[in-house]
Amino acid sequence: MPNIRFTEKPLSDWMRGDAEDSEIVISSRVRIARNLQHLPFPMLATNQQSEEVLQRLTDILQYDDLGRFGTFHTLKISELDEIDKQVLVEKHLISPNLANESRNGAVLISDDESVSVMINEEDHLRIQCLYPGCQVREAWERAMVIDDAFEAHVDYAFDDRRGFLTSCPTNVGTGMRASVMMHLPALVMTHQINRILSAVSQVGLTVRGIYGEGSEAVGNLFQISNQITLGQTEAEIIENLHGVVLQIIEHERSARERLMNESMLRITDRVMRSFGILSYAAVLDSKEAAQRLSDVRLGVDLGILERPSIAAMNELNVMTQPGFLQKSFGDKMNTGERDMYRAKLIRQKLGSTL
């Protein structure tokens, strides 16, 4: 039986700490893609070859190189049921691709869930480090240390001209994707978001939804990440992203100040209405729940509401997702049932803060 304690609680331990700019930047993440030399990439590997990759990479846990980051737990994807896999995706501990399409796929997760290492996803190895708030530099530094720990025991596929070789050409070079998850309700409300995001795309960055490429931005949550991995160093990528994120933070703060100065009554009414609906609704679909939770989070940030805490809001963002709802209430549900239980769970959570 696999260790599934990671799917039983909605909030990872790393999300509980205070962090700089956490009222706007939810989290920072760095992901590094690597492949082993002389073995076919996952999409072309036989079952035996992907099993060899899994064995070689999990064997590294016996060494002390990763010990500084605590104990790692190995979860084989084939041993997880569909709901547990979905919860791991909702907590950003694995990708949808690993959950749905991997052969001999696995993930190594640290005790506090700040590090997850995916094996046999799109690439042989994907190292992911997560931090609260605007700490993309710190996430990068940790990812580099973990990368070195693996490289001490295996040879990576590397080309002197192209850099690290990856399954997808857009990852060739550094193999690194750095991203931040940002809550930008005021820029959306003041109709500045499209201009800001257009400017972001002009400096080598891209905007995605909360689950990465192809996903929708809901609840005013946007994932900003680097688009270029070739022709820039890791440090240049990190500094470019960090500089742009600081500018977006300032734009969001200015927009929030404008809302408070020009539309105090309107924004207060919006926040209180959303809090009331979340507190008493009998049915909530995922999009409405995400938007109402965004309003309440903004209300807490602006001092309109004293509760719930930001940690509680972060919990609700995961708890209201389809996988975690089904995990919490112990059964597979259709859409209507999920909408009912989502409302019930939110009522319970907010009721405990009153």
Known binding residues: 27-31, 92, 126, 177-181, 208-213
Cα 253 to Cα 251: distance, rounded to the nearest angstrom: 5
Q: How many domains does the chain contain in total?
A: 2
Cα 264 to Cα 199: distance, rounded to the nearest angstrom: 29
Band (pLDDT 50/70/90 cuts) for residue 324 is very high
Q: Is the peptide bond before 308 cis (omega within 30 degrees of 0)?
A: yes
Domain boundary among 254, 275, 297: 254
pLDDT tens-digit profile of 213-242? 544 567 899 999 998 888 889 999 999 999
Cα 327 to Cα 304: distance, rounded to the nearest angstrom: 33
Cα 124 to Cα 103: distance, rounded to the nearest angstrom: 11
pLDDT tens-digit profile of 75-99? 999 999 999 999 999 999 999 999 9
Domain with residue 53: its CATH number is: 3.30.590.10
Which parts of the chain fold into alpha helices (H)? 47-59, 82-90, 96-101, 136-151, 185-189, 193-201, 234-262, 264-280, 286-301, 310-319, 322-329, 335-351
Pairing mode, strands 115-119 and 221-226: unpaired
Same domain, 234 and 311: no
SS3 318: helix
Band (pLDDT 50/70/90 cuts) for residue 14 is confident
User: For tokens 């909702």, what's the residue?
Assistant: 90
Band (pLDDT 50/70/90 cuts) for residue 248 is very high
Tokens standing for 255? Answer: 């927009």
Contact between residue 156 and residue 194 where contact means Cβ atoms under 8 Å apart: no
What residues form DSSP beta bridges with 163? Answer: 159
CB neighbour class for 78 (10 Å; exposed up to 12, middle 13-18, buried from 19): exposed
Same domain, 110 and 179: yes
Going by C-alpha positions, the residue among 125, 167, 158 that lies closest to residue 41 is 167
Domain boundary among 254, 278, 307: 254
Same domain, 172 and 311: no
Same domain, 236 and 345: no
Tell which wins on pLDDT, 322 or 19.
322
- What's the confidence (pLDDT) of residue 10? 86
Band (pLDDT 50/70/90 cuts) for residue 65 is confident
Polymer length of the chain: 354
For 333, other C-beta atoms within 10 Å of its C-beta total 16
Same domain, 93 and 157: yes
Going by C-alpha positions, the residue among 124, 157, 116, 118 that lies closest to residue 43 is 124
Domain boundary among 195, 225, 254: 254
Cα 328 to Cα 289: distance, rounded to the nearest angstrom: 17
Same domain, 250 and 267: no
Same domain, 72 and 123: yes
Same domain, 282 and 204: no
- What's the confidence (pLDDT) of residue 210? 61
- Rg (alpha carbons) of the chain, rounded to whole number: 21
Same domain, 238 and 326: no
Cα 199 to Cα 193: distance, rounded to the nearest angstrom: 10
- What's the confidence (pLDDT) of residue 354? 45
- What's the confidence (pLDDT) of residue 47? 94
- What's the confidence (pLDDT) of residue 58? 92
State mean pLDDT over 201-219.
72
Residue 347 belongs to what domain range?
263-351
- What's the confidence (pLDDT) of residue 322? 92
- What's the confidence (pLDDT) of residue 2? 56
Known binding residues for ATP: 27-31, 92, 126, 177-181, 208-213
pLDDT tens-digit profile of 117-145? 999 999 999 999 999 999 999 999 999 99
Contact between residue 189 and residue 287 where contact means Cβ atoms under 8 Å apart: no
